[in-house]
Chain A
Amino acid sequence: MSPLLAQVEIHQRTQDSCVSDNGLCPSWIVDNFDRYVDPFFQHVLLTVVAMAIGFVISFSLALVAYRRRWLINPVTQVTGVLYTIPSIAAFFLLLPITGRGFLTATIALVSYVLLIIFRNVLTGLDNVPEETKDAGRGMGLTDRQLLWRVEVPLALPEIMAGLRIAATTTVGLATLAFFAGAGGLGEQIFADINFKSNVVTAGGLAVALAAVLDGAILLTQRAITPWTRAAASR
């Protein structure tokens, strides 16, 4: 073939560099950080959506079960089973029904947080001291007012604790979402599993996201429940 036609510049790669050795290269990470931006935001979206939906469902379930105690056991069993099923298995068990993509991943992720939040909301509500409730009733509060003005606020620490666990858990599970075709940081890790810089950056971002969400929820909790600051903090 005519060498002049192949105008592609053939680079001489005689020297080993950090990048060509698949190493951990800070300068490369800085230069190529934009590769991680989209996957990061996909990851955030997956996590936040799953947590929001999961919270709405399990909080509602918990409120209902708080009054109708017979519901606690069956709900716990069902959400417990959902919780135990490994996420990858869940993605493919859902595949025949919901196909590949964001929806399947979200359904699986939501099913994981259900048990955690359900349990924590109930525990929090159950922990409200009887005397406090009596005082409330004594003040003439209706059941509904009692719930929203006394019981739920007092249950907040427990609820927030559950949210923190749900957050870190969901971030971790969302790394596997790419198996369901939903992108995320896991896809980026897998794009070059040999390249240390890539694995560390994508993995590190996931850990950082989990830490930030955990901290944010903790700070929110401290802000809206100032009375717990006196108690031993976790």
Chain B
Amino acid sequence: MRRHRWLMLLALLVAALAVAGCGDDDDDSGSGNAGSSKEQSSSKIQKNDKNASTKLTIGSKNFTEQKVLGEIYAQALQAAGYGVSKELNLGDEKTALKALEGGDISAYPEYTGTALLSFFGYTADKLPSDEGEAFDLAKAGFEKKNLTALPPTPFVSSNEVAVTKETADKLGLKKISDLKGKSQDLTLYGSPECRQRLDCKLGLEKVYGLKFKKFVPVDIALRHEVLKKGQADVSIVFTTDPQNKREGFVLLEDDKGMFPPYNSTLVVRNDVIEKAGPDLAKTVELVNKNLTDEVMQELNARVDIDKSTPEDVAGEYLKETGLIGG
């Protein structure tokens, strides 16, 4: 890294000029971003040698978007001077929370909606539909566990009910409630945890009153293939999946509001926040700024469709947004 210091300064200059050219702050509403102290000079991550004594372990859950996010935060915090190790691909949200509470990891990116439903016992009728409110409620819930939820990303990655275009046309499906009366002849494929989640099979049963002919648990990575290969009639996907558009899947409208907002927030242990100093939150804020729906989908596509590794894609993100020079 030392050799490239001149190059980094040059890149810094270029980035500064670029940012000066844009001159606009991110003003997404409802993201709770405290972006008021944005400096025009640069949005680059500065390495602070004082951070070197703090060791961080970044975790993530077990699907592409999570692995990319984990890599991005890990690499960004490393650029800020922290000692970073990674424990990505932990498992589902329960496994990740257990690792966080147990101290095996310092932080991992969770979704506000997932936290409300899986950790804090919110039922469908009590779910907020506003992103800001969802974050505030999640943050409050995490505080009780001595965890801090940092300000969330602009992008929303929601669970969604998907069918192929043929199925949608054949059965006339536009909203999830259109499945009523038809679902008993259809097979639903979802992740193994889907059976017990209110934003998955359980919610479909409780909120929409849907009973499916069969539920097949498959690994989350197969959620599109099973639809594509005709094994699943209905599958649970994420709104940021690039495969949705590519394969022409129809995402059914959530007319009864079963799915809460799902912004991603980095959840950190309180003792880590104290030790890490202000650079932790600052770096995360810089990273989150550019994580829009479109960008997240692009990053997912680079892994799932172009078959890059999450590590490489994270590096590309940080470089292309000028957060890391070189």
Contacts and interface: CB of A to CB of B under 8 A. Distances in A.
B306 A7 contact: no
A7 B302 CA distance: 15
B305 A195 contact: no
Interface stretch (B45-53, B117-125, B197-205, B290-298): B290-298
A136 B322 CA distance: 80
A132 interface: no
Given A19-B306, A19-B307, A20-B306, A5 B290 contact: yes
Contacts of A13: 242, 246, 301, 305
B298 A8 contact: yes
Contacts of B246: 13, 20
B24 A5 contact: yes
Interface residues of B, number: 32
A11 B300 CA distance: 12
Contact of B225 (A20, A28, A194, A197): A194
A4 B22 contact: yes
The secondary-structure label for the interface of chain B is helix
Contacts of B290: 5-8
B219 A193 contact: yes
The secondary-structure label for the interface of chain A is loop
A10 interface: yes
A6 B292 CA distance: 8
A98 interface: no
Given A32-B307, A195-B307, A8 B317 contact: yes
25 contacts: A1-B28, A1-B292, A4-B22, A6-B290, A7-B290, A7-B320, A8-B295, A8-B299, A8-B316, A9-B320, A11-B298, A11-B301, A11-B306, A13-B242, A22-B225, A28-B307, A35-B309, A192-B307, A193-B219, A193-B222, A194-B221, A194-B222, A194-B225, A195-B307, A197-B307
Interface of B: 18, 21-22, 24, 26-28, 154, 219, 221-222, 225, 242, 246, 289-290, 292, 294-295, 298-299, 301-302, 305-307, 309, 316-317, 320-322
Interface of A: 1-2, 4-11, 13, 19-20, 22, 28, 32, 35, 192-195, 197-198
